[in-house]
A and B are shown apart, each in its own frame.
Chain A
């Protein structure tokens, strides 16, 4: 865990140590302290603020492949949750002060204010190549203890993501309503959704705000509920549809969610994204597995098998549904063109579908935005 005593100091040394003994020497930015997590890399060239605040990164140290980070600072609008969830941030060249008309704060100040430790000035491409060949692994960033061997030991001692319930850390404590629509240039946020739109209960496994904004944008009335909410409680609220959100970690580690989702299938239209998709896959009798280094970026091609069209998608997941485990009720609808992994599935009879990638983008392209519309249309069909 990171401690935070922020200082503006031009060259504070920092070290990133990996569990396999690889060490990178760099400079600190953001908060001082020590932090650990699974080291993953993200290939998106824009959107570091969204990445930092995406709860799916809880428990991970994120390395950006794009080298210049911090250029546009941080603003009040581009947050994806109540605070940053990335456990540590790794960049080639941290940039301060920002230059953008919306910037309210520098990235480093923002990270320091949230106790988030960053390391800059390392060969991030070397790190990425290392992770690519040796797989994602635990690592530790420290600005306070610069003894590499001790840090390697710490990294080795870390529990890893498999089997850990990280959802419990990030889900909301209490249900809440959501009314903010998607960001648009020159338009003030806060336009309330249509009063007669479908009512959606959204499970918060670590939900990104832009999913909520997109649902509102598609005309939905939205209520967010904690991950532990029972199917009965959800149905009691008489929703028109249920949404299963993204979230961190291993889908096998949240059996309670799988069980509730299994109980909801067939009762109410369901749409799932990312962890929500994996949980749905499990609920439909499928299996999940851990990818070597995951998919984290904004340029992954996904083929929609029903239309044969390709979407460029935003992705962030370390686990995937095993295509061979899909049988019976689950049917493959989307496939990743890079590695042929499962990107979407549908229920053969019930009004249920999900995607592994992020149609809400943020960061990333909006190609798959139509899926929110599809959800609403599906609900409309179900309602007759």
Chain B
């Protein structure tokens, strides 16, 4: 399954705000399928890392308590226009995803 990873940057309060949106079901494992009456197995992102020019700025450990299609935002001091922002994540089923963007781009 393809999970899209979107990254957006914008200047805010003299720093750079980095927003990451991943399309992911973030299934809790608590719900039952109304048709089959079977539990839907948990499927959620466990870790997500944002790095700027190869240096990590955020390492987030997440659980089923994060909403479907997670949106995370951080504020980083220092990045300049043209700096590379990378996002990488891994979920509990071992699926991974990544995204790349350029500050100010």
The answer to whether A and B come from one shared complex is: no
